[in-house]
Structure 1
């Protein structure tokens, strides 16, 4: 079943808002991340305890595309891959599902989006060299050797060991997968 771009964008945005709400409920402030002076983000909303930035997910308003990646690699990326990574700027969002803990990856700013594209190109080149099914990562797991990826041919969500073929299908689509996860907020110190 083909999922519309708007439906997936809405799912990504709603999960980010659920995470934000759960975080604020536990800590009574926005999420924090280490402040890096030369790595600003539209997500940043102020300073916390002098060394942290308060942040929140922000919808991307500038045009972000994967045209350069598709042209360089002479392929078309699945629409879900492009929609997911161009919906919002955000720090990673921790989540849980019945299969374990994970962190959803996003671009923090436009420079990070460019870096993300470079990493995706590297991943695709590795998959091509190994003659494996083409996937694109979108999350890390609590097992450093495993990632969650989207199959480029049909958009299904898989677990794969880095450098290996996907081995465990988690959902038919990214939108379906996002409905299966819940925010994982760190405990209070």
Structure 2
């Protein structure tokens, strides 16, 4: 277990909650009973909420989830940092600034969303194999939709990747270092 990744996530969520409180901001998501989440706050009747929306907060999970099914299906060993990144919290995607660039950390909203994430991760890894590129595991989206932030499954580094072209830049030596450099931001809803 890479405790450093978990600690970095805990600290990032704490910084996010401090920003929300300082800005009197309440994160909200449209409520769909078919897409429920443990993140929703039951008593969220605030005047800040838009119609059909509920307030939410990140929720720490009881146990870290595993990507062993992906490893078995693709006969690959995944960098253990990825399990801590996606397996410790339920949360909506989290906007952040990294080196003055706004990105959005991909997070897992619910157990069903975790299943969807795994399907997308398998498709991404299969695309990387088809393109004969080193395997990466996406962790954030960029404003430029052709770029993603990913974990290099070979080196453990956090990298910028251009879809179809591969890795173009190393951003951090590991996931904990990357998360520690993030500054939470508010996006207009």
Q: Same fold (TM over 0.5)?
A: yes
User: In the aligned structure 2, how far is the partner of 1:130 from the partner of 1:89?
Assistant: 32
CA separation of 1:161 and 1:153: change in aligned 2, threshold 3 A: same
**Partner of 1:103 in structure 2?**
104
User: In the aligned structure 2, how far is the partner of 1:45 from the partner of 1:167?
Assistant: 40
Determine helix, strand or coil for the equivalent of 2:81. helix
User: In the aligned structure 2, how far is the partner of 1:103 from the partner of 1:22?
Assistant: 16
Query: Would you say 1:43 and 2:44 are equivalent positions?
Result: no
Equivalences for residues 62-101 of structure 1 within 5 A:
62-98=63-99, 100-101=101-102
User: In the aligned structure 2, how far is the partner of 1:97 from the partner of 1:8?
Assistant: 17
For residue 16 of structure 1, report the CA deviation from its aligned partner. 1.5
Query: Would you say 1:9 and 2:20 are equivalent positions?
Result: no
1:18-77 Cα offsets, whole Å, 9 max, x none, are: 112212321x25311111121111100034344111000111114521111100000110
Q: How many residues matched?
A: 184
Deviates most, 124-133 or 59-68: 59-68
User: In the aligned structure 1, how far is the partner of 2:64 from the partner of 2:81?
Assistant: 16
User: In the aligned structure 2, how far is the partner of 1:162 from the partner of 1:139?
Assistant: 13
User: In the aligned structure 2, how far is the partner of 1:30 from the partner of 1:5?
Assistant: 31
Asked whether the equivalents of residues 64 and 84 of structure 2 are also in contact (C-alpha less than 8 Å), the reply is no
**Partner of 1:56 in structure 2?**
57
**Partner of 1:31 in structure 2?**
27
Equivalences for residues 72-151 of structure 1 within 5 A:
72-98=73-99, 100-151=101-152
For residue 134 of structure 1, report the CA deviation from its aligned partner. 0.7
For residue 146 of structure 1, report the CA deviation from its aligned partner. 0.4
Asked whether the equivalents of residues 58 and 92 of structure 2 are also in contact (C-alpha less than 8 Å), the reply is yes
**Partner of 1:22 in structure 2?**
19
Deviates most, 55-64 or 112-121: 55-64
Asked whether the equivalents of residues 13 and 87 of structure 1 are also in contact (C-alpha less than 8 Å), the reply is no
Unaligned stretches of 5+ residues in structure 1? none
User: In the aligned structure 1, how far is the partner of 2:33 from the partner of 2:121?
Assistant: 26
**Partner of 1:160 in structure 2?**
161
